[in-house]
Amino acid sequence: MIELVSAERCIGCNLCVKVCPTNVFDKTEHEPVIARQSDCQTCFICEAYCPADALYVSPYADEQIAVDEAELAGNGVLGSWRATIGWGPGRTKLAALDKTPFIDRILPARTIRAAGVSDVRTPTTG
């Protein structure tokens, strides 16, 4: 659950407001505020997008916890999710390192029938 917007770090870009799928934040003249915390889905998208490492989403999805910004910053937690997935300048995106086979390479091709279309085969690769 979203627990922190750092007023000290926030640059007011409002990306978190835009990307949150459940509209948790409200814009203000300064940093966004957490206006509907219970609507948070703990998806970490806001953390991933925040260019200033100003957000903290706790992994506890169903309960609010008290957090201390100085402690989070001191432990290197702020911005760590964005770093882990390789978002941000000079980083390699996790998706670029992922070697997981595509689903159509590990499942057998199957026949599907679409309305008005004769049998269609799923694409095969490799």
Among 26, 28, 30, 31, interactor with ligand SF4 by CB under 6 A? 31
Span of 54-62, 80-88, 90-98, 108-116 interacting with ligand SF4 by CB under 6 A: 54-62
**Side chain identity at residue 121, one-letter code:** R
Q: Is 13 one of the binding residues for ligand SF4 (CB under 6 A)? A: yes
Q: Is 55 one of the binding residues for ligand SF4 (CB under 6 A)? A: yes
Among 28, 35, 42, 83, interactor with ligand SF4 by CB under 6 A? 42
- Distance from C-alpha of 29 to C-alpha of 26, rounded to nearest angstrom: 10
**Side chain identity at residue 67, one-letter code:** V
Q: Which of 42, 30, 38 is nearest to 5 (CA)?
A: 30
- Distance from C-alpha of 118 to C-alpha of 52, rounded to nearest angstrom: 52
Give the H or E element holding residue 87. Answer: none
Span of 53-61, 69-77, 88-96, 110-118 interacting with ligand SF4 by CB under 6 A: 53-61
Give the H or E element holding residue 56. Answer: strand 55-57
Size of the site for ligand SF4 (CB under 6 A): 29
The binding site for ligand SF4 (CB under 6 A) comprises: 2, 5, 10-16, 20-22, 24, 31-32, 40-46, 49-52, 54-55, 57
